[in-house]
Amino acid sequence: MSQQSYKIIVTTHKNPDGDALGSSIAISRFLRKLGHKVSIVIPDAIPSFYLWMPDIDQAIIFDDDNALCFSIFSDADYLIATDLNSLSRNMSMSVSINNIKAFRICIDHHLDPPQNEWDILISDNNVSSTSEIIYDLLTYMDPNLIDKQIAECIYTGIYTDTNKFFHCCNCSHPYEIIAELIKKGINVNEINNLIYNSYTYDRFRLLGYSIYEKLKFIENKGVAYIKLTQKELQEFNYHPGYTEGIVSMPLSIENVNVSALISERKDHIKISLRSKAAYDVRYLAQRYFNGGGHKNASGADFYGSLDEAEKIFIEAVEEYL
C-alpha cells in the first residue's frame, strides 16, 4: 500500500466516544504519513470534551454535510471502520455506504461482527479497546511513524474505553502500551483534565440531578437505573456527550451490579447499560432491546416510548437477574 496513494475513508460509530475518535484519527494520521489521501467521516456530533484531539478539525461530520460525504464515499478505494463492527449501526449513513465500490476493512473489538460485511476483518474482543488493536497494528507496520499526536489518540481510546482502567481485562498489555505512549511525549495529566475535568456547569448539574432526583434502586436485584426525559435534558441545555459517564455512576454503590441510563432522544430512546465484571449486560441489551456491545458495557436504541423502555428493562431485570 505504501508505494501508491489511495483514497481512503476512515469511519467509526455514531455517538462517537474516546475510542471511536482515538482509533479512527490515529490510523488516519498514520496512513496520511504513508502518502494516502484520507477522509475521516464521523456519523454525528463530536462531544466538546474531545474537540482538543489532534486532527479533529479535519473530521467531516456526516450529519452536517451529506452531499460532501456522498462524493467522498463514491470515490474511495478503501473504507476502514474502527470501533464499529457493522455499518448498519450508523443508520442513515449506512444507506449511502451500502453500494460503494471501496474495499472494506473492519478493525474492532465488539463481539460477533457480521463476517459477510467485510473484505478484511480484524476483530478481537479480548482487548481493552480498538485503539489497542490500532497501536499494535501501527507498531507492526512502522513504530517510527507513531508520533506524539497518534500517541495522544491511542491513549484517549484506551483510557476512556476502560473507564480510566476500571474495567480493563486485567492484562498487562494496555499498561505496557501506555508506557510506550508516554515515551512518545504525551502528557497524561493534561489529557485526563481535558477529557474528565472539563464539564460545563450545566452538564455537572445534570449529573447531580440524575443521581439525586432520578436514581431508582431495585435493591433485591442489585440494579440501579436513571430515566431522563427529553425535557429534563433540555433544562440542562443538553449538548452531545452530556450524559456520557452518568450510567457508570450507580456502580459505585456497593450492592449494585448492573446500572442503566434510559434517556429520551429526538427520535428514539437511548439505553446504556453497565455492569460489574461478573455480570453480562450485553445479553440483556441484545435479548431485550436488539442492541449489543460488550459484556460490561452495552447499549441499544429503542423505538418506542420512554415508559415502554423502562417497563421492558424492569421485566428484563426480573427475568434475567
Considering only residues 83, 244, 264, 310, which one is a binding residue for Mn ion as defined by CB under 5 A? 83
Residue 42 and residue 12 in contact, taking contact as beta carbons nearer than 8 Å: yes
- Please choose, out of 130-138, 140-148, 196-204, 303-311, the segment that lies near Mn ion by the rule CB under 5 A: 130-138
Dig out the grid coordinates for 131 from the structure: 485503539
Considering only residues 14, 15, 19, 24, which one is a binding residue for Mn ion as defined by CB under 5 A? 19
- Please choose, out of 11-19, 95-103, 141-149, 304-312, the segment that lies near Mn ion by the rule CB under 5 A: 11-19
Least CB distance to Mn ion at residue 113 (A):
13
The reply to whether 108 sits near Mn ion by the rule CB under 5 A is no
Least CB distance to Mn ion at residue 161 (A):
4
Q: Total binding residues for Mn ion by CB under 5 A? A: 5
The radius of gyration of the chain from alpha carbons, rounded to an integer in Å, stands at: 19
The smaller minimum CB distance to Mn ion, of residues 129 and 210, is found at 129
- Please choose, out of 33-41, 83-91, 246-254, 281-289, the segment that lies near Mn ion by the rule CB under 5 A: 83-91
Element (H, E) at 319: helix 306-320
Residue nearest Mn ion, CB atom distance: 19
174-183, long-range: CB within 8 Å, 24+ apart, which pairs? 174/127, 174/128, 174/129, 174/132, 177/132, 177/135, 180/135, 180/151, 181/135, 181/151, 181/152, 181/154, 181/155
- Region 133-172 residues binding Mn ion, contact defined as CB under 5 A: 161
Residue 165 and residue 195 in contact, taking contact as beta carbons nearer than 8 Å: no
- Region 185-214 residues binding Mn ion, contact defined as CB under 5 A: none
State the residues that interact with Mn ion by CB under 5 A. 19, 83, 129-130, 161
